[in-house]
Amino acid sequence: MSKLEKILQSAFFRTIISILIGFAVGAIFLLIVNISPAEAYAKLFSSIFSNPKSLSYCVVYATPLIILGLSVAFSFRTGVFNIGAEGQFVVGSMAACVVGILVPAPPIVLPILCIAAAAAAGALWGIIVGFLKVKWGINEVLSMIMFNWIAFYLSNYIADLPIIKNEGNAEATKNVQEAAMILLPKSWIDSLGLCNSASWGILIAAILAVVVYIIIEKTSLGYSLKAVGFNRDAAEYGGINANRSVLIALAISGAMGGIAGATNLLGIGQRIAIFTAQESYGFQGIIAALIGASNPLGVFVGGLFYGAIKYGGSRLNIIGAPSEVVNVIMGTVIFLIAISHIFNFRLRKKKKGGDK
């Protein structure tokens, strides 16, 4: 196979094609709603690249998406589909928020406690679903969606409890203690001209990407989880406890979902609002995972890309363009990635084995 051909057939190339078509479809929609795509896309990209501040905003937006993407990618690699990242994110945020408000602890210790609580809550959310799957054979996709909503209302319920709730008029919790925040030092932010929400979150995301890579590719734990994901029957036959593997995979996946919630809260959120609709972080994580082809490095890049587009999209309102066009673009992108095997670019006729 020639080098060019290899590139043309790579998942990376297909993803690029999908993204380009996604933007084209977005452009068509903008035309339909009478907005110049050129102007809108110019605004989108200029908002992203204009200065260090906006770039750092993109990173801040990207951080939870990367971690959620890793959570989903980990689940894909181990044969479950963590569509429940949304719920894990929500319970993780809430756990971190409760600890961050109520637990008296010094800086450095407190964020660690918050993140640990979030990981535990997310893992629990994953394990519940895993338990329903292994014990009663309930499709995890369906129960995760239910638990996303249960998490949503649970979070709203907790946020409304007097001990947590904001004393003012805001329909939200109190702010977490300053000591709980994971923001970069003020002096750094000022000297580099970053946004005020720039935090250590992206470092946490990078560390998690490495951890996921090592577990999946290098360890015997990863081996057993993948074996169950690929072929549960053969794994069981080989002596691997498949039910245990499913629970472990969902616990790890869920813990990352929870951590994503914590980093978002401790970085930019600081408090949790009482929501009227889901924020769809989990679904955005699925997109990051799909763009990154479930490969940790790919997910990191995919998450950054999505974060940037999301930030840029949020600035579209300035020129009167609907920011939801980003959803149209991203929906198109995953739809195309799902069928991307049809973009099978070949330079010449290739050998194909008989299927009989």
Partner 1 sequence: MATEHIDLNVKVVEMRDIVKKFGDFVANDGINLTVHKGEIHAILGENGAGKSTLMNQLYGMFPPTSGQILVHGKPVVLDNPQKAIREGIGMVHQHFMLVPPFTVTENIVLGMEPVKGIKLDMAKARQDVKEISERYGLSIDPDAKIEDISVGMQQRVEIRKALYRGAETLILDEPTASLTPQEITELIHIMHSLTADGKSIILITHKLKEIKASADYCTIIRLGKYIDTVKVADVTENDLASLMVGRKVTFSVEKPPMKAGDLVLDVKDLHGVDYRGVEILKGLSIQVHKGEILGIAGIDGNGQTEMVEIITGLRKATGGQVLVNGTDVVNKPPRFGFEHGVSSIPADRQRHGLVLDFSVAENMILQNYGQEPFSKKGILDQKAIGQYTQDAMEKYDIRPRDAVRKPARTLSGGNQQKVIIAREVNNDKDLLIAVNPTRGLDVGAIEYVHKYIIEQRNKGKAVLLVSFELDEIMSLSDRIDVIFDGKISGSMTGDQANEETLGMMMAGGKVQ
Partner 2 sequence: MDNFINNLGILIYATLLYTAPLLYAAMGSCFSEVSGVVNIGIEGMMTVGAFTGATVAYFTGNPWLGFVCAGLAGMAFALLHGIATIQFGADQTISGTAINFLAPGVAIVTAKAIFNSSDTVPLDPSSKIPTLFAGVFSSGTPWSNFMKNVFSTYASTYLVFVVLVVVWFVFYKTRFGLRMRACGEHPLACQSLGINVHRTRMICVCLSGFLAGLGGACMTMATSNQFRPTSIVGQGFIAIAAVIFGKFRPQGAMIGCLLFGLCSGLRVVIGSSSLNISVQLLSMIPYVVTVIVLILFVGKSHVPAANGKPFVKTK
User: Under rule CB under 8 A, which residues in 304-323 are in contact with partner 2?
Assistant: 322
Nearer to partner 1 by C-beta: 110 or 227?
227
Among residues 4, 107, 109, 153, the one that binds partner 2 under rule CB under 8 A: 153
Residue 220 contact among partner 2, partner 1, none, beta carbon within 5 to 8 Å by kind: partner 1
Tell me if 348 contacts partner 1 by CB under 8 A.
no
Tell the smallest beta-carbon distance from residue 133 to partner 2 (Å). 10
3 state DSSP class of 253: helix
Please say whether the beta carbons of 113 and 103 come within 8 A.
Answer: yes
Report the length, in residues, of the chain.
356
Tell me if 231 contacts partner 1 by CB under 8 A.
yes
Please say whether the beta carbons of 91 and 125 come within 8 A.
Answer: yes
Site string for partner 1, 162-201 (x = CB under 8 A): ----------------------------------------
Tell me if 1 contacts partner 2 by CB under 8 A.
no
Tell me if 354 contacts partner 2 by CB under 8 A.
no
Q: Compute CA distances 23 → 11, 37, 142, 226, whole Å.
A: 18, 9, 31, 34
3 state DSSP class of 105: coil
d(CA 334, CA 336): 5
Q: Compute CA distances 21 → 11, 28, 48, 140, whole Å.
A: 15, 11, 20, 32
Name the residue among 338, 321, 252, 287 with its Cα closest to residue 62: 287
Tell the smallest beta-carbon distance from residue 340 to partner 2 (Å). 9
Q: Which two tokens stand for residue 329?
A: 């673009």
d(CA 230, CA 284): 25
Among residues 342, 346, 349, 353, the one that binds partner 2 under rule CB under 8 A: 342
Burial (Cβ within 10 Å: 0-12, 13-18, ≥19) of residue 300: buried
Tell me if 237 contacts partner 2 by CB under 8 A.
no
Among residues 338, 344, 345, 350, the one that binds partner 2 under rule CB under 8 A: 338
Tell me if 6 contacts partner 1 by CB under 8 A.
no
What sign results for the dihedral spanned by CA atoms 323, 82, 14, 67? positive
d(CA 145, CA 87): 8
Tell me if 351 contacts partner 1 by CB under 8 A.
yes
Tell the smallest beta-carbon distance from residue 91 to partner 2 (Å). 13
Nearer to partner 2 by C-beta: 56 or 75?
75
User: Under rule CB under 8 A, which residues in 233-252 are in contact with partner 1?
Assistant: 233-241
Tell me if 301 contacts partner 2 by CB under 8 A.
no
Name the residue among 201, 191, 188, 324 with its Cα closest to residue 270: 201
Residue 286 contact among partner 1, partner 2, none, beta carbon within 5 to 8 Å by kind: partner 2
> What torsion do the CA atoms of 293, 299, 301, 305 make, to the nearest 10 degrees?
90
Nearer to partner 2 by C-beta: 1 or 342?
342
Tell me if 99 contacts partner 2 by CB under 8 A.
no
Contact residues for partner 2 (CB under 8 A)?
29, 32-34, 81, 83, 132, 136-139, 141-143, 145-147, 149-150, 153-154, 156-157, 160, 276-278, 283, 286-287, 290, 322, 324-328, 330-332, 334-335, 337-339, 341-342, 355
Q: Which residues bind partner 1 (CB under 8 A)?
A: 218-221, 223-224, 226-227, 230-231, 233-241, 351-356
